[in-house]
Structure 1
Amino acid sequence: MTLSCFTSREQRFAEEGEMAESRCSSRVRLMAFLALLFALFSTGDSVAQVPLLMWSSDGLPALASTAAGHITSKEQLAAYLSSAFKSGPHTVLLFLQDKLSKDDFTVFGGVFGNKQDGAFGNLEAALHSSSSVMFPALEWLDSSAIPALLQEKLGVSPLLVDADTLPHLSINTSASNLLIINLPYCTSFGKSCKEVLHDNDGIIGKVLSVMKDKNVLYTAIYTGLKPSRVISEASLSVHPAGRSLLQAVVPEVKPPIMFNVSGNPCVMLWAQNLNISLTGETAWIDLAAQVPSLTGSTCNSSNSLLVLTYSSGYILSNTLLLISSFAMSQRFYPVSARNWFTLDSVQLQANGQTSSFTGSRNIYAPAEYSFHCQSVTSFRDILLVANKTNPSPLWRLNFIDFQIQGFGLANGTNFSYASDCAGFFTPGIWMGLLTGLLFLWIFVYGLHMIMQLNTMDRFDDPKGPSISVPQSE
């Protein structure tokens, strides 16, 4: 009995060992398979992309074939444009939509889709009836990259036109021309995105018909100022393997606008959004998305002027040149025994008209600090007051996460300590304090009433003699 017991126990141990070894080998194979998947999917990072469609009535050079999923760089596009515009004058039509992605074609039907009821009928007809090339994935850098690149290749300044004014425009075919047609994107109230894109396609067809009637050879480009859908997928290879808690990807922060004098920083401005709009218009234009020219900016020990000139990219109300300026000053205040700087005014210039806003009483900070405010507007919780004496049209301003510093920049590319516009005693804090004081008063009053209660020194005993109170006559 003892020997058979030992034998069965050894067999059981051997079987358990084989099972453990089998489980271990399966686990190793699974981990190797997962590692292979991670290696396959972490080959690169996705970047923001915009499609670019190009067709010409005069012929285009052939485009070299690329592998599937290839992202065209700005340098590759510049090289192709150089070969396309290498000789003779050219008339280029740039259909510049506010936003555009390849998904717009696949979802709403068009060049990259197979839908029969798509929103790009005129565009498809133009591509099929003329020499055309397509860049489905063009690396997107900033909103002014394509207009600036075309301006450089053609050597002419862009001209903003629309489908209604183009028939009355005289086009000189002996010289190069760059005509920009601005198109909206899914921002019109009461219209679906497909309807907006269909209307844009109608504008494209109308412009091409006008060019055909004028018998003008042209090269047309259809692209977007920025992607309409940006899907950022961080590479798995840049993250550590294994388990981690509260892991977050830090978003890329754009650099501030900085004006330097003799290599030293003088004025700095940063904002998440610099939104502007004319009164009566529903569309907001974000100027923070493109890089402006700082020509005309000045600064000294007492006054600073930051001038931002936007010459292309964003076009509002037939405006191709828009200038915004921020005027600041500092002086010594004896009461606080320190220097303070104020943002005296903000001016907008477009189409020969000027609108100004005053902010000196609302936007201020110590001279060695920067000023920061989450929202700086001219129409709600007003910090920038419109100058009503100016007869120019009123613009609306809405600066989100706004920070500016015009003096005391000694930390290189970093802002100094920020003086925030939000006060310490917010309405919520005041409500909490008043409610707490009310409850405290009720508690103290109740405690005071309880402490004023006195007990009787004698009690009437029903079993004993009653208490007699002698009365005096």
Structure 2
Amino acid sequence: STMFKFASVLLFIFAAAAAEYVPALVWQYGSEHGVFKAEPALHKYSTDSFRDLLTKQAADKDLIIIFAEENLSVEDFNWQDISGETSFPKLSETTKGPNSNFYSRVDDPFSALMDLQGAEWSDVKLSLQLPSTILKKDFGSKFVIVNMDDATDFEDRPNLLKRHDEIVSRALDAAKSAYGKVLAVYTGHHSSWIPEELAVRRVRSLLQAEEPQNGSRFINADNLAYLYYSSAPTANLGGNNISLTNFLEATAERTEENEDTVTMYVTYDYEGNNVTIIFPFAETSRGYWNLDKISVQWDSTEYFLESTGIYAPFRFSYHCSIDTVFSNGTEEGNTDSLTFTDFQIEPLVPTDEQGEVRFRDAYDCISFFTMPIWSGIFVSLILIFVLTAGIIMIMEIKVMDKFDDPKGKTITVSNTD
């Protein structure tokens, strides 16, 4: 029909303009960087960020080898037959250790690999003799690419991937034996499926503020941390109520112990005295950052304030549309507090490819099941219960027996004028 054709054309247009995310499976052996850091499972990597990640890992390697499928998607890794066997029985075993990591959504990972600094790639033909070729160590370069482009018309995709799984597994064993320090990547040139997200987004992400840098609402601290609020913070410190409207500066620094943790310092002027808020972002072991306590320095006194629930995965910001309060009960029974309205914050935020400063996707403090949703569910359950009870009552109504007795006297109704 015409409507179906129109929808198909729209789907094609959107698919053509969409970013192509391809999975990448990465191993490394024999290196002091052999343990991968935990990452959020559904995080999306740009080409540049994936290249930077691999550049650090490839620095001390004797061999960097890429196994590149023509097409690859997450669905290929999730596929199972009736018996529960996947397309990658061998590689599944090699990914159970800490020396491997699976990146499910990478924007054009092959281009990122081709642009590695100092890389002069040697093309190697895919064959069953690939492991023995690796053992000979005669590539002429430590950068090797194996294009797995031997698909035939008579082989379905699961069997093709199982065959490649066997070859890649044997090649990895040979590489570890021959070179010792190895970085291996299994990925694809293109995605097997239509991507889900457009590369050019025409809607602004949640609270990607358009205020100037280091303004009174959106604050950029040395390109290491961002802070946003819709109105000036208010504080109750030592029994004094103050409003922090006069912003002075914001700085941030990485901690010496861990480069993935940042401390942000935001300074305001209040009646000629500096008020400095210190945000020490902490890293958790699950790939999350959190901010459970801050300190405020004012009038030669430092106030330590706490809050709960301020956390998000790395490469996500935290946002809360309701008031965010940091507080601490003092010995005198008073409460020192600092309140932000429409609060959003994020550490370790890189500038995007267009050079713009903005928050990444937000991890919101309000869960999906809010009070209105729970109220709607509760009312719906009551209505369903009433409807069910009514239907049961109607079904229990029985007809009088005398109307069903075939031997009884027939009831006649005379029609008289």
Fold-level similarity (TM above 0.5)? no
Question: Between Structure 1 and Structure 2, whose CA radius of gyration is higher?
Answer: 1
**Normalising to structure 2: TM-score of the pair?**
0.41
Structure with more of its chain in strand, by fraction: 2
